[in-house]
Structure 1
Amino acid sequence: MQPGARATSLRNPNVPVGIVAALGLTQIIGYGTLYYSFSILAPGMAADLGITVTQVFAIFSASLFVGGLSAPYIGRQLDGIGASTVMAVGSALSALTLILCAWSPSVVIFALAIVLMEISSGMVQYQAAAFAALVEADPRSALRSITYLTLIAGFASTIFWPIATALLGYLSWREIYLVYAGLNLAICMPFHVWIMRKGKKGATSGKRLMREPVVGAIPHERRRGAVVAVSAAFALLGFTLGAMLAHMVPMLGTLGFGSAAVVIGSLFGPAQVLSRLINMIFGARLAPPGLAVVSATFMVLSVVILALSGNWLPGAVAFSICLGLGSGINSIAQGSLPLYLFGSDGYGALTGKMAAARLAAGAAAPFVFAATMEQFGIGASLVLSAALGSIGIAAFAAVAMATKRTLVAAPSPSN
């Protein structure tokens, strides 16, 4: 297939609606229980375990790093035994690690539980696993499916930040994690098993053999450089986004917004959904490289706005909305850009490697940002995050320009 023929195959309208809907629900629960609630529960964890909040985030950062190291292995399994199978196992492991964390009698056991939780989250969250499941279901409709999935999953923070805050009024953080374990075991795992069985049924009937693969826009001889550039860009933006998400509500509270910090932070989720909805309706003409540039620009802009506005309420609102807009599109780019540039063959292993780079670089974000705020204040921390994000913008822009030159130089299918 010539590069010019990619548009038709990538815009196939036959999206597997049932699979997308099921994965959307599991992603809301997965991200809400394994990631977004952590910053809300961290102060209670610190007080219970007799350590500082900074130390709790240091443990969280270490767990993200270990999770990043495990991503390439998980990626190979996505291609080997199937993404839905990995996700079904990951749901069970997520529940078990949440239970272990809730039981942990010491800091050492708690740290081990958090590390295992991040490894299991890499088996169920969409940066690699769920996107690979959609590519596995149908490579040609995967770009559209990824957009729909991220649209649904964008509600995770909006749902679980208020839920975690409300539950703290009735339950301890340990009891909340037990509730979360039940959600992963009773809801997420059955849906992942259903998707797994559906895929096996399709393979038995021979449908998988008829699915046309997607050919990447980057020539094979230039692939290594492009992989490095894209991985570095996602890693830098991952650091910026990770720092903001881990500290958004506490940081806004420190700036003087008090209880309104949760409300302001909750705007992040709807903004994510809005950006994905806009992209779904109007973004067909914007290729994934351009989408990545737009997402990075919004994220960096959000940090700059907060750094300049301080405790000004409209500035905080604009920060949360812009961050959500950028994050929403970035989530789509994480799945669509590798598929667009490098094709569907070996997609799971490649996205696993990219996730490793992103998680390894971004693992330090919660701890570094917390430590920087303690030493130099919020303003300096925001400037650092914006500077790193700006390098990511430049890397995405370079890849976009290189891709444009490649497509212009490529012969048309009629030739």
Structure 2
Amino acid sequence: MQTRTTAKRSDGDPRGAIATWALAAAQLVSWGSIYYAFSLFVVPMESTMGWSRTATNAALSTGLLISGFVAYPIGTWIDRGYGRRVMACGSVLAAAMLALWSQAHSLPTLFVVWIGLGVAMAATLYDPVFTVVTRNFPGSFRTKIIVITLVAGFASTVFIPLTQGLIDWSGWRGALLVLAAANLMICLPLHVFAIDRDMPRADDLDYKAARKTINAAATKRALRTPTFWALAVCFTAYYATFAALTFHLVPLMTGRRVSPALMLTTMAVIGPAQVVARMVWFTIGRDVRPSIVGVVVTTAFPAAVIILMCAGTSPVLLILFAIVYGGANGMMTILRGTIVQDVMWTEGYGAVSGLLSMPSNIAKGIAPISAAAIWTVRGNYLAVEWTVLLVSLVSTAAFVLATRLAAGQKFDDRQVNFK
């Protein structure tokens, strides 16, 4: 049998640090161009194409649903050594879909675009990069995940004003072409450079069989573990509320007659708030038990919703909302990337993480269209905010339950051998 070159670099390898920063830069562009930019295109598309808010959000929801369905197979492919190919192809697909979106003249085209972007998100955003980092750097993945999320935390700060400027300068179609070029010219080469080519040789059948066995065993064990199900409820509830609020925040503030300058300022504060929260975690939070950090995170989000409900057009309250909201999401991203390893195990992480992401991403898909439907029925966003608040409290309760279940369940080895 041929010898296979392992993907795992030494944690002190200087190229590993360079690769980490490259992946962080790619995450900044991917999040900013694919995810955060959408809300800025809603009103211009409605104005020029006559599409309803429910219809545009239905296209987005379709993409997020697709992202959920493909999360598990993408995680298993990365576990088998196809990380570079997955993330590079994801960037190419994102560029192609954004370019197609710029030429959309009918709703079916918009739905096709978001089906493709759903696959691209599953292949380029946090879940795949966390899997790549965990797989390649088992001794330092927590620090590298924090670094990546620190940089990517500026995605909304950079891309919301940038995208708005592009829309003002060249229209929404021209702006989409620029975002497509960014994925092709920035993300693609960074993914190719930063991720080692670590595919097994064609004749290395033992390795392929072993990886399939480990992934299958990890998946089965997760489905039998109560901690996994509690975490699934926690993240599903959290990301449903986060998606509903994120994609409707600009229309919500527009409906309340918040000035454009204050609206952009509020949105721009979210990114730095995420980064500051992650820096706090990096400096003083690494030695704090994940259960304590998780309770803080899952409590902060409903607190942010309450502030938003009371804010009206108050600059002070809107900025406070952005700080708490951004801080909560900033820490949640790190929590999501590390909690499985902390309370469960690391072997088959890509498969387990992908399985955990499926209901979360499906909920992300349902949430924007559900929020749009509630808005259509009520004619305002108050009912949406109450729904978001109640569901976010479910996330808090589920996380508390998950940590208590984990404390009472012993795993013989976090680096479990599933053979």
**1:261-280 matched pairs, under 5 angstroms:** 261-280=263-282
Is the alpha carbon distance of 1:396 and 1:182 closer, same or farther for their aligned partners in structure 2, counting shifts above 3 Å?
Answer: same
RMSD: 2.3
**1:268-307 matched pairs, under 5 angstroms:** 268-307=270-309
CA offset at residue 136 of structure 1?
A: 1.9
CA offset at residue 198 of structure 1?
A: 6.4
* Structure-1 separation of matches of 2:80 and 2:159: 33
**1:243 partner letter:** A
SS in structure 2 of the partner of residue 257 of structure 1: coil
* Structure-1 separation of matches of 2:355 and 2:47: 36
Q: Which moved more, 1:248-257 or 1:258-267?
A: 248-257
Task: Verify the 8 A CA contact 2:88 2:192 in the aligned structure 1.
Answer: yes
Corresponding residue for residue 235 of structure 1: 236
Deviations 1:136-189 (A, max 9, x none): 221121111111111111000000110111111111212111111111111111
Task: Verify the 8 A CA contact 2:28 2:152 in the aligned structure 1.
Answer: yes
Task: Verify the 8 A CA contact 1:58 1:366 in the aligned structure 2.
Answer: yes
* Structure-1 separation of matches of 2:145 and 2:12: 12
CA offset at residue 291 of structure 1?
A: 2.5
Corresponding residue for residue 61 of structure 2: 61
**1:187 partner letter:** I
Task: Verify the 8 A CA contact 2:226 2:405 in the aligned structure 1.
Answer: no
Task: Verify the 8 A CA contact 2:28 2:155 in the aligned structure 1.
Answer: yes
**1:5-404 matched pairs, under 5 angstroms:** 16-126=16-126, 128-197=127-196, 224-259=225-260, 260-376=262-378, 377-404=380-407
Task: Verify the 8 A CA contact 1:75 1:349 in the aligned structure 2.
Answer: yes
Corresponding residue for residue 204 of structure 1: none
Q: Which moved more, 1:356-365 or 1:274-283?
A: 356-365
Using the size of structure 1 for normalisation, the TM-score is 0.87
Task: Verify the 8 A CA contact 2:82 2:199 in the aligned structure 1.
Answer: no
Deviations 1:15-42 (A, max 9, x none): 8311210011101100111010000011
SS in structure 2 of the partner of residue 286 of structure 1: coil
Is the alpha carbon distance of 1:131 and 1:172 closer, same or farther for their aligned partners in structure 2, counting shifts above 3 Å?
Answer: same
Deviations 1:218-264 (A, max 9, x none): xx699522111111110100011111211222212222222111111
Using the size of structure 2 for normalisation, the TM-score is 0.86
Task: Verify the 8 A CA contact 1:83 1:136 in the aligned structure 2.
Answer: no
Task: Verify the 8 A CA contact 1:82 1:133 in the aligned structure 2.
Answer: no
Task: Verify the 8 A CA contact 2:150 2:275 in the aligned structure 1.
Answer: yes
Is the alpha carbon distance of 1:292 and 1:158 closer, same or farther for their aligned partners in structure 2, counting shifts above 3 Å?
Answer: same
SS in structure 2 of the partner of residue 169 of structure 1: helix
* Structure-2 separation of matches of 1:168 and 1:398: 45
Task: Verify the 8 A CA contact 2:80 2:199 in the aligned structure 1.
Answer: no
Task: Verify the 8 A CA contact 2:84 2:197 in the aligned structure 1.
Answer: no
Q: Which moved more, 1:252-261 or 1:329-338?
A: 252-261
**2:152 partner letter:** A
* Structure-1 separation of matches of 2:324 and 2:352: 29
**1:389 partner letter:** S
* Structure-1 separation of matches of 2:51 and 2:72: 33
* Structure-2 separation of matches of 1:197 and 1:133: 10
Is the alpha carbon distance of 1:118 and 1:221 closer, same or farther for their aligned partners in structure 2, counting shifts above 3 Å?
Answer: closer
**2:290 partner letter:** P
* Structure-1 separation of matches of 2:53 and 2:304: 25
CA offset at residue 293 of structure 1?
A: 2.2
Is the alpha carbon distance of 1:13 and 1:277 closer, same or farther for their aligned partners in structure 2, counting shifts above 3 Å?
Answer: farther
Aligned residues: 382
Task: Verify the 8 A CA contact 2:236 2:363 in the aligned structure 1.
Answer: yes
Task: Verify the 8 A CA contact 1:88 1:193 in the aligned structure 2.
Answer: yes
* Structure-2 separation of matches of 1:231 and 1:393: 12
CA offset at residue 410 of structure 1?
A: 8.2
**1:20 partner letter:** T
Task: Verify the 8 A CA contact 1:250 1:261 in the aligned structure 2.
Answer: no
* Structure-1 separation of matches of 2:391 and 2:222: 29
SS in structure 1 of the partner of residue 346 of structure 2: coil
Is the alpha carbon distance of 1:221 and 1:244 closer, same or farther for their aligned partners in structure 2, counting shifts above 3 Å?
Answer: closer
Task: Verify the 8 A CA contact 1:302 1:319 in the aligned structure 2.
Answer: yes
* Structure-2 separation of matches of 1:138 and 1:155: 24
SS in structure 2 of the partner of residue 256 of structure 1: coil
CA offset at residue 82 of structure 1?
A: 2.7
Unaligned runs of 5+ in 1: 1-11, 202-219
Task: Verify the 8 A CA contact 2:75 2:351 in the aligned structure 1.
Answer: yes
**2:382 partner letter:** G
